[in-house]
Amino acid sequence: MRRLEREIDEFQAQIDALTEEIGREEVYTDYELMNQKCSEIDRLKQQIEENFEKLIELDG
């Protein structure tokens, strides 16, 4: 369970960093770069969701 919680924290930190990056002009004016960063955010959110589901299973 601890490993899953750590991973969730790490994924959230990565999302926070990417969110900050997409606010920069050099990123939001570059469609491909912006799309890559948004796709990475979506991927990380999916992993967080999967980890939460695993935690619920382990807790239940």
SS (H, E, C) the chain: CHHHHHHHHHHHHHHHHHHHHHCCHHHHCCHHHHHHHHHHHHHHHHHHHHHHHHHHHHHC
Tokens of 51: 């980890």
> Along the 60 residues of the chain, how does pLDDT read in single tens digits?
899 999 999 999 999 999 999 999 999 999 999 999 999 999 999 999 999 999 999 987
Evaluate if pTM is beyond 0.95: no
Query: CA torsion sign, 12 to 14 to 52 to 38?
Result: positive
CA distance 30 to 18: 14
